[in-house]
């Protein structure tokens, strides 16, 4: 049974809860979002993943390179490094950019209520994604992504815009 770390608005741990139940009850918990960037012909690009269709929420939507929850006793940095390797087959140096709190309700009755830590890194190698987590990957120019999120917000996860803003700050 996977658990998430419940936190207060200052990111202080206040307990643990089973992941599914935390999303059913909209409990604030610690999470992270990783963005990997590269430069191609003077254009800044970001690596996106399309979430696997059978994810517990947001299946099939495009999002940042990797996102998940740290385990009890695991730092955000260590968790981000672990999940980046597990989901995308990538090892990269990551830098923390800050965090934000958001809440989003989904049609399946679940609610995401996260204190989301944003980490960034540079990468320009092969991606070997895990098909149980990731349906597809693509590199997209940052400006093109920002425009597309405005034009087609329904194909992106609800946290992506806020997380990207912090990643680019």
Which pLDDT score is estimated for 57?
A: 65
pLDDT at 56: 62
Say how far apart CA 44 and CA 159 lie, in whole Å: 21
Backbone phi, then psi, for 84, in 5-degree steps?
A: -60, -40
- Nearest by Cα to 79 from 88, 92, 70, 87: 70
Q: Is the predicted pLDDT of residue 54 greater than 90, yes or no?
A: no
Distance CA 50, CA 96 (A): 23
Question: Region 65-93: what's the mean pLDDT?
Answer: 96
Boundaries of domain holding 137: 3-168
Which tokens in the block code for residue 11?
């990111």
CATH number of the domain at 157, please: 3.90.79.10
Residues catalogued as catalytic: 67, 114
Query: pTM (2 decimals)?
Result: 0.93
Number of domains present in the structure of the chain: 1
């Amino acid at each position: 049974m996977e658990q998430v770390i419940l936190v207060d608005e200052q990111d202080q741990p206040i307990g643990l809860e089973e992941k599914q139940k935390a999303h059913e009850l909209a409990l604030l918990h610690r999470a992270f979002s990783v963005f990997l960037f590269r430069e191609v012909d003077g254009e800044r690009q970001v690596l996106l993943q399309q979430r696997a269709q059978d994810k517990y929420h947001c299946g099939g939507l495009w999002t940042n390179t990797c996102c998940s929850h740290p385990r009890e006793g695991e730092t955000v940095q260590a968790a981000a490094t672990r999940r980046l390797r597990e989901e995308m087959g990538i090892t990269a140096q990551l830098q923390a950019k800050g965090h934000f709190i958001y809440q989003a309700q989904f049609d399946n009755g679940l609610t995401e209520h996260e204190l989301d830590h944003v980490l960034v890194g540079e990468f320009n190698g092969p991606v070997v994604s895990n098909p149980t987590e990731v349906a597809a990957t693509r590199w997209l120019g940052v400006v093109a992504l920002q425009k597309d999120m405005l034009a087609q917000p329904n194909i992106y996860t609800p946290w992506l815009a806020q997380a990207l803003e912090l990643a680019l700050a």
